[in-house]
Amino acid sequence: MEKAVKRIGVLTSGGDAPGMNAAVRAVTRTAISRGVECIGIRRGWNGLINGDFIQMDASSVSHIIHKGGTILYTARSEEFKTAPGREKALGTCKLLGLDGIVAVGGDGTFRGALALSRQAAEHGQSLQVVGIPATIDNDIGCSHYTIGFDTACNTAVECIDKLRDTMQSHERCSVVEVMGRHAGYLALYVGISVGATAVLIPERPVDFQRDIVEAIRKARLAGVTHFMIVVAEGAGSAVDIGKRIHDEIGIDPRVTVLGHIQRGGSPSSRDRETASRMGYHAVMSLVANKGNRVIATQEGRVVDIDMEEALAMTKPFQMDRYDVLEALSLH
Ligand code: F6P
């Protein structure tokens, strides 16, 4: 089959996620193995606007599969949201002879990619784009899984296990805020994994009396003397929850906001393996002349979906996991 692309760019955009490097490695090595040249665009879409790039070869991605962060750097670009910004980016594509872009990031990244390819088409410029979902939030509608989620869960669990030791010794209540933006996946998976007393997520309206006061009361009656409350950042502030616990229940909690520590660290096996398969699939899609795709996992399989359809997709929140959490907490 005739090669659809000759030279592609790969970039990482938005919040970094562990496993992005494994995806960049997979894209680079698959491209080279198929006779396609690969350019690394640095600092997300800003790099395409400013012509900030590096030539990639097979060895430029050696020894990065185990590294957190992204060797290409990342950014959230305001300029790229504008038509003149994308015009500059298209100029860079022309200059470099890029006919394909693989963008690793979240749905904001994919929206940018789609706008770019549409703008290219208006000028008769050939530019195929493919998105790879990578975010610790696991909040991409078309994909059951996003690169980085598993590592972030493991990092949060490790931190909370440490907190539990000191909470248990002092018979205290801990309120821990985890990331996730508007989604509660991270909080719920972590909450189940640490055996939390209660988990607050944005997908379930918070009722302080039911979710906190009752949960602590039941745990106390069951003989528990330390409590672990996990709060998704999208469900509220751990500081505010801690204050309410102090004022309304009369116990003196300790509040921890895990913050960006959840985005760092060496990617888990699951994230490396998923990123490798997605990166491979992204390039194979371009080589097969299939552009404007988002790579996704569905029932464990890696698939590609039309980008516009992918951006309109939503996934039902896994509320059955909340039932598991409740069933396993002490009553
Ligand atoms: O989307 C990833 C994420 O870490 C969210 O969980 C969080 O809300 C946000 O990014 C933080 O963004 P920033 O790195 O700009 O502080």
| Three-class SS state of 7 | strand
Does ligand 1 come within 6 angstroms of the Cβ of 18?
A: no
> Cα(197)–Cα(226) distance, rounded to whole angstroms?
9
The pLDDT value given to residue 3: 54
The number of beta carbons lying within 10 Å of the beta carbon of residue 121 is 12
- Which pTM was predicted? 0.97
The pLDDT value given to residue 2: 44
Concerning whether 165 is annotated as a catalytic residue, the answer is no
Radius of gyration of the chain (CA): 22
The pLDDT value given to residue 4: 80
Q: At how many degrees (to 10) do helices 269-287 and 20-33 cross? A: 40
The pLDDT value given to residue 330: 81
Q: In 3D, which of 192, 145, 193 has the Cα closest to residue 19?
A: 145
- The two most distant CA atoms of the chain are separated, in Å, by 71
Ligand 1 atom nearest to 139, measured from its CA? 1
The pLDDT value given to residue 80: 98
120: left (phi over 0), alpha (psi -120 to 50) or beta: alpha
Mean pLDDT by 10 residues, the chain (331 residues): 81 98 98 98 98 96 98 97 98 98 98 98 96 98 98 98 98 98 98 98 97 96 97 98 97 98 98 98 97 96 98 96 93 67
Distance 179 CA to ligand 1 centre (A): 7
The pLDDT value given to residue 152: 98
> Cα(225)–Cα(141) distance, rounded to whole angstroms?
40
Q: Which amino acid is it at 188? A: L
> Measuring from atom 13 of ligand 1, which residue has the nearest CA?
15
Mutation to probe ligand 1, out of 110, 136, 140, 153 (largest number of atoms < 8 A from CB): 136
> Cα(79)–Cα(102) distance, rounded to whole angstroms?
19
Distance 259 CA to ligand 1 centre (A): 9
